[in-house]
Chains A and B, each alone.
Chain A
Amino acid sequence: MTTATERSVPKPVFTDAEAGAKEFPDSKARRFNYFTPQKRKQTHYEDVTVEVQPDPRHYLAQGWLYGFSDGKGGYPLDWTVLKAWGSDRPEPERGPGTGGQGYEWPAHGWHEFRDPNEEWELSLYRYNANVVRQLQANVDAAKQAKSFGQWNPNWVRFVQQNVGAWMHVDHGLGLYLFANANRRGPTNMHNTAIAVNSMHLIRAAQDLALYQLTLSEEVEGFDGSAHLETWNSDPAWQGVREIAERLTATDDWAEAVFAANVVFQPLVGELFRSQLVMQVAPRNGDFVTPTVVGAEEFDFSERDLRYTKAIFELLSNDREFAEHNSRIMNTWLADWTGQAVAAARAMQPLWSQPDAKPIRFEDALDRVKSRFAGIVEELSLDTPKELER
């Protein structure tokens, strides 16, 4: 006779530990109570981002515990020259019997920023997964329709060289500006929005690279490595390259984000993507490239620009440092706009390369200048005279 031994497993136990089972102090206090929501009710986004990155000015009683070799710890506010109200308040001194109280939340204006895109993990994976799936479907549909065979040789050359060169911009800014800046901002809301921006750009760079890989397989004679020479030595691209490199060389995180998303992207990025590639491709028999480039355009115009404006609008209208911030941002505008316009003008030869021509370069430039001026106005800043170069 065999006997079955009972398996050793944890047994379910009825504990009745669910909400509402009993009433006692705090039994109905079911919201995070350590921050003030931007609107009347806390959003899901706020719940999962606000206050994850601490601040010695409010709750961080014992201060930062690890410092760099200069003794600075955490996220120093002076990693940008911009200031939000309260920035000059010193961190509370701690010692015997001081207690742990800081300033009342939010302690300073940096904590008032909320990403209007409300990005957190759920939203960023849904969004980017949708983008890559749609892109893959577009490219697959084009392959099945044998549409690449309709491209004329000049257009093939244009895509392999110029559309190919743009992926270097995305990659460089994604990694060495935005991913880098995700360590620099003063709050979790800033750094999370910046990290998401970084992934948009790195994804866009890879989208273009993989698109090139497909074209190498589908289009006879497509030179998948032509973009390297264009990026390294084509004079039309050296202005873009120089400003892109300078963006990654900028120490002040806010200046880097501002210069990239307020100046460079509208004046150079949108000029190339919206005013050239997306306009001219269909006339040259290409309905696919605009969808690849357009995905990136949507990332910027509908998401990355939106959070950027929210960051800098707060600062140019700050209740304590509006003038200080506006003065600095206007200086940045003057500095970066001149270089961006020069880089844009250097790209002018691209407009004559395709067989079927796009709108005139000057008209395209006027359009992006007009859009740029609108963004600057929304930020309560001055349109720089360098725009007219």
Chain B
Amino acid sequence: MSRQSVAKAHQKIQELAWEPMYHQPVSQYGTDYTFRKAQKKDPLKQVLRSYFPMQEEKDHRVYGASDGAIRGNMFRQVQERWLEWQKLFLSIIPLPEISAARAMPLLFRNVPNPELHNGQAIQMIDEVRHSTIQQNLKRLYMNNYIDPAGFNSSLRNFQNDYCGTIGRQFAEGFITGDAITAASIYLTIVAETAFTNTLFVAMPAEAAANGDYLLPTVFHSVQSDESRHISNGYATLLMALADEGNHQLLERDLRYAWWNNHRVVDAAIGTFIEYGTKDRRKDRESYAEMWRRWIYDDYYRSYLVPLEKYGLVIPHDLIEEAWNQIWHKGYVHEVAQFFATGWLANYWRIDPMTDKDFEWFEYKYPGWYDRYGKWWEQYNRLSTPNGHHPIVAEDVDYQYPHRCWTCMVPCLVREDMVMAEVDGQWRTYCHEACRWTDVEAFRPTFQGRNTPNMGQLIGAREWETLYHGWNWADVVQDMGFVRDDGKTMVAQPHLNLDDPKKLWTLDHLRRMPNLQSPNVLLNQMTDEERAKFHADYIRGGPAGRPYRGE
């Protein structure tokens, strides 16, 4: 269709909407937002007559590339380090995608603008596309990559592994709670507009550098849809801003959504890009550099700040703090170190960092070696079984961290950990912003205002508590992270598949001390013990070093 006829066609399909005369459509999702004033045009102007053939053409390109990759033996040039981390990423991402599809109906009754519903319906089916095309990519990896373990058990793993649980916020946050908080602010205004840049643009570039050109093929095709979804979010945001009563809620939700996305997405994608790559050219961008460009400049300064004049209160402090965490407090490095500490509880292989990696990290993040170098040398030393335990049970100057009750990433930047007694339980939080999210934002009143539609944080949020007192072999078996010989673990702290003696098995884990839940232990302490524990914890770090006194 020509551009002009698309405009005419879009105008024509506006005649489809009608005001009910006999029954109101069912209203199943509440919001504390109001939309009394503004009307906004559908920014997509997408008509299905042109949409379906366009998507089909994009599919042709994706599946053509897939065939080409197999025929061209792409997997002979793929870095195993990279593909191993895809076992985590591709176990997570299909759920957020499909959840975004499921989120669209939350907006129908709450954003009273039929013109926007057309765009939301198209976003819904886009998201079905993304979820299944990503599942298909994972299937292709499983069939063609040397080690299918972890891909073959992907969706079971994702659902019972603590990393999967962290990632699940990036899905469940879209579909529950206050409809606008979830489906508009968290999903489209922050997750899609800010963080898909690192997810679907920065990360594929790194994939290509590691010999994997299928991930860029699939995810750039996905990202070409995201730009339309961003327009959906922007239109809804402008409508919300027109009602002054929404400003307080917008401020709350931007703070929550920004901080949670930073905690979750930067943890995962930062680790994939920095620790999942073999590309150590000094002029390739680090995650921090990418973040500064894609998120700080493009999202914060170019997208958010101009909205200030419409009354949007922007969380400048939390944006600067996120940067502070990434650049000064080593957030991504702390997360990668924790993933590697707990390699045995996961379903992919994490190989040790080499001298070349060390050199690159020191160049990009001056001071890295002093903080993390020794620990990674220990990781290397302990990577194959030789009468010792996995690193988590060895004395390597690392204190196993407490879980953040809100974002569920552990409290890794030790100095920032805060505690609160909530609903009869002592909880730990990785940062004051996560305490605020649980204690103040996700509540039925906010700053004296009734917020009856705000959601709740629920679930068994500390993974370790489920396995408190268990032997590690039983933990791994319970989660199903065992290969088809019944004893060799899916996860390994190296990439060597040649020598069976170098592969860790459940037998090695039997000899380890039992797993202890830090939160259970915290709640068993007296008030004095807990206060001292906290005082010591926040003096620990960096790199998880326990406080050993002055």
Contact = CB atoms under 8 A, between A and B. Distances in A.
Same complex: yes
Interface of A: 8, 10, 12-22, 24-27, 29-34, 44, 47-54, 58-69, 71, 73-74, 94-101, 120-122, 124-126, 128-129, 131-133, 135-136, 167-168, 171-172, 174-176, 179-184, 188, 191-192, 195-196, 198-199, 202-203, 205-207, 209-210, 212-213, 224-225, 227-228, 231-232, 241-242, 245-246, 248-251
Given A10-B208, A191-B102, A210-B12, A96 B133 contact: no
B237 interface: no
Interface in B104-148: 104-106, 108, 117-118, 120-121, 124-125, 128-133, 135-136, 139, 142-148
B159 interface: yes
Contacts of A191: 98, 101-102
Contacts of A246: 22-23
Given A168-B18, A206-B49, A51 B155 contact: yes
B457 A66 contact: yes
B153 interface: yes
Contacts of B79: 13, 15, 17
21 contacts: A8-B281, A8-B284, A13-B278, A19-B148, A34-B153, A66-B173, A69-B30, A96-B517, A99-B478, A120-B132, A121-B59, A121-B129, A122-B59, A125-B55, A168-B16, A192-B128, A202-B48, A209-B16, A227-B15, A242-B22, A248-B20
Nearest to A52: B94
A71 B453 CA distance: 11
Interface residues of B, number: 129
Given A15-B77, A30-B148, 4 more contacts: A15-B78, A52-B155, A96-B465, A99-B467
B132 A245 contact: no
Interface string B75-113: 111111001000000000011001001111110100000
A25 B488 contact: yes
A144 B147 CA distance: 58
Q: Which of B56, B490, B498 has the most CB of A within 10 A?
A: B56
Q: Which of A95, A176, A198 has the most CB of B within 10 A?
A: A176
B94 to A, nearest CB: 5
A7 to B, nearest CB: 10
A136 B125 CA distance: 22
A203 B53 CA distance: 12
B452 A69 contact: yes
A129 B152 CA distance: 32
B101 to A, nearest CB: 6
A209 B15 contact: yes
A128 B25 contact: no
Interface in B510-538: 517, 520
A181 B285 CA distance: 44
Contacts of A33: 152-153, 156
Interface stretch (B164-172, B328-336, B364-372): B164-172
Given A10-B279, A13-B211, A29 B77 contact: no
A74 B148 CA distance: 30
Contacts, number: 389
Interface in B11-51: 12-13, 15-18, 20-26, 28-30, 47-49
B456 A62 contact: no
Contact of B125 (A44, A97, A195): A195
B184 interface: no
Given A24-B497, A63-B458, A95 B465 contact: yes
B169 A248 contact: no
A66 B176 contact: yes
A232 B18 CA distance: 9
Given A199-B121, A245-B23, A19 B144 contact: yes
Contact of B469 (A97, A180, A210, A251): A97
A65 to B, nearest CB: 4
A202 B52 CA distance: 12
A24 B124 CA distance: 42
A131 to B, nearest CB: 8
A167 B465 CA distance: 55
Nearest to A132: B49
A132 B53 contact: yes
A18 B23 contact: no
Nearest to A213: B12
A17 B484 CA distance: 20
B23 A30 contact: no
A92 B457 CA distance: 18
B437 to A, nearest CB: 12
Contacts of B49: 132, 135-136, 206-207, 210
B13 A209 contact: yes
A248 B25 contact: yes
B550 interface: no
A171 B75 contact: no
B485 interface: yes
B410 interface: no
Contacts of B156: 33-34, 51, 59
B160 interface: yes
A188 B56 CA distance: 22
B343 to A, nearest CB: 17
